[in-house]
Amino acid sequence: MRTIGVEEELLLVDAETGAPKPVAGEVLRRAAQAGLAGAPEDRDARPGGPPDDDAGPGGRLEGELQQEQIEFSTPPAADLGDVARQLRAWRRRAVDAAVAAGAKVVATATSPVPAQPNLAPSPRYEEMAARFGRTATDQLVCGCHVHVSVGSAEEAVGVLDRIRVWLPTLLALRANSPFWRGEDSGYASYRSQAWSAWPSAGPTDVFGSVDAYQRHVRDMLATGVVLDEKMVYFDARLSARYPTVEIRAADVCLAAEDAVLVAALSRGLVDTAAAAWAAGIEAPPVPAGLLRLARWQAGRDGAEGALVNPHDGAPRPAAEVVGALVAHVRPALEENGDLALVEDGVARVLAAGTGARRQRDVLARTGDLAAVAAEAARVTAG
């Protein structure tokens, strides 16, 4: 089976008020004392992915763009049980390091409580802030990135071309950011809106070949708009270091079991797409502009309301489109032994709601955004 590695970005919040707290440096220092953190220069060398050193993928806590964030990445594993254990273990380590620094860890993709982010000390981040202004300095969002192994660059591009139409549905299932600056944004995933402010973010057109993918990236760099290849913020992309496809569509998940669901569906999508590529089945010729609309709709309603059907572009009930996704990857799920986990997880989300629904329900009960953050911290810690 293909291996999976998961990156989770997490918020650090004040233990009393729930407001984001700029203590990433202290958290990472305490984690480093326990041998659990990468050096800051490692993280700065490869923003958006594993550190650029020889230690291999996964297995450490790291900093992020803002001092109110940390992230971890799990080592590659083929068995979903191992992925789940690693996710819970690294969340626990993050929680322990944060507590020692007087903070809590919250797995929400935006902060329920208002905050003014503080840029992490890094020459590269300072250059990003100088170039992109408030797009960088106001950016306090957390995603869930899944790395799935591939056999070659050719297979990887074939996969990217064939999974792209399903990534909005993956976002809808894992929408977990309804609040922005202390108010209900009207979106289930406001992270997807804030992230779209980056000029290189979002869906892509069909590439067709490795040469075309690489040429597209070179053309982006030639504009001088993005700093470098590390700022290729596609919803799914080739890893710059490892033989993986990196799927970046989803919000960070409130509960660890929901991140496992994202991982299982991501591998199912990669397996299904790779088989179609190998069989010479053409990628769906859906323009990126239409996928951007589907992505907007997914961020707006999450797994409630309507989603855009990848087959015909028409609005359909979310449960129907999610069901179509599961049907699309069912053979791969069965072969990997993941079908029962995915069916149970999807049923749970459709019945109980996404992380966004859970956050809104807490606010409806308590009227207190600090209570939303506190409940999210409790769920994050397991």
What's the distance, Cα to Cα, between the start and end of the chain in Å?
28
Is pLDDT above 60 for 53? no
- pLDDT over 90 at 263, yes or no: yes
Q: What is the pLDDT of residues 316-357, one digit of tens each?
A: 999 999 999 999 999 999 999 999 999 999 999 999 999 999
Count of domains forming the chain? 1
**What domain range includes position 26?**
4-380
DSSP 203-241: ------SHHHHHHHHHHHHHTTSSSSGGG--BSEEE-SS
Neighbours of 124 (CB within 10 A): 15
Q: How far, CA to CA in Å, does 20 sit from each of 102, 106, 159?
A: 12, 9, 37
Reduce the DSSP state of residue 116 to 3 states and report it. coil
pLDDT score of 35: 72
- What gap in Å lies between CA 322 and CA 381, rounded to an integer? 28
- pLDDT over 80 at 231, yes or no: yes
Predicted pLDDT at 236 = 98
User: Chain-wide mean pLDDT for the chain?
Assistant: 93
CA separation, residue 89 to residues 23, 30, 92, 93, 272 (Å)? 21, 16, 5, 6, 30
Among candidate residues 326, 354, 308, 317, the one with its CA nearest the CA of residue 189: 354
- Minimal CA–CA distance to 30: which of 101, 129, 112? 101
Question: How far is 82 from 93, CA to CA, in rounded Å?
Answer: 16
- Residue 45 binned pLDDT confidence (cut-offs 50, 70, 90): very low
Give the number of C-alpha atoms closer than 13 A to the C-alpha of residue 288, restricted to the C-beta side: 13
Rounded distance between C-alpha atoms, residue 211 and residue 194, angstroms: 31
- Please tell me the chain's helix, strand, coil percentages from 3-state DSSP, rounded to the nearest 5: 50, 15, 35
Asked if the model's pLDDT at residue 41 lies above 80, the reply is: no
Q: What CATH number is attached to the domain comprising 79? A: 3.30.590.20
- Position 47 scores a pLDDT of 31
Give per-residue pLDDT as tens, 80-115. 999 999 999 999 999 999 998 999 999 999 999 999
The pLDDT of residue 50 is above 90? no
User: Does residue 49 carry a pLDDT above 90?
Assistant: no
pLDDT of residue 240: 83
